[in-house]
Amino acid sequence: MKERNKLKVGFALLLCVTALVWSCKNEPIDITATRSKFVLDSLRLADSLAAANTAAIRANYVADRAYQRALDSLTAANQAGGISYAVTIVDGSASSFYGRTNATETLLTGASVTVSQFGKTETKTTAADGMVVFAGFFRNSLNVTITKAGFTSLNYIVSVAEDT
């Protein structure tokens, strides 16, 4: 029985060696062509990596510039100082040249008030308290226009400065 097992193992080993030798005989390897292909692939890869690196550097530069512009804008806005501007409208139809009388203390509802500054324009209508409040403007000059049917329109410029 031992002889038979040795024979089987020897036959299996012979088959493996034959298969290995047979597979190596299929094609001769052209080392020059293989090396040339390897060098060309390496050069293409190096060019691709260089192009990707250049694109990444440019994208970072553009992003950094955009970020810096945003910071500069915020800094300028903070230096300018945001304000809320309130306007109270009263009926001045019974006023005298020398001052108001008690009759002029009537608040004017439904008046249209427009405030504009640096291209930003907002329009609001006065409520029962005769007041409107505008937010998001800056210290500087504001153009104010007040209109209501049956009343004279008023247009003025107000200068809002920092408290000193």
> What is the spatial distance between Cα 53 and Cα 41, in angstroms, rounded to a whole number?
18
More confident residue, 146 or 164: 146
- Give the pTM: 0.46
More confident residue, 79 or 59: 59
Q: Is 137 exposed, middle or buried (0-12, 13-18, 19+ CB in 10 A)?
A: buried
- Count of CB atoms situated within 10 Å of the CB of 134: 21
Over 60: is that where the pLDDT of 38 sits? yes
Half-sphere exposure of 135 (CA within 13 A, CB side): 0
| pLDDT at residue 121, as a whole number | 93
| pLDDT at residue 123, as a whole number | 95
The DSSP 8-state label assigned to residue 34 in this structure reads: H
Over 80: is that where the pLDDT of 147 sits? yes
Top-confidence range, 10-24, 25-39, 86-100, 126-140: 126-140
Please give the backbone phi and psi of residue 129, each rounded to the nearest 5 degrees, phi first.
-85, 0
**Average pLDDT of 20-49?**
76
Q: Which residue has the tokens 């945003």?
A: 70
Please list, in sequence order, all residues whose beta carbon lies within 8 angstroms of the beta carbon of residue 56, skipping any fewer than 6 positions away: none
| pLDDT at residue 94, as a whole number | 58
> What is the spatial distance between Cα 102 and Cα 86, in angstroms, rounded to a whole number?
23
Over 80: is that where the pLDDT of 105 sits? no
3-state secondary structure 7-22: HHHHHHHHHHHHHHHH
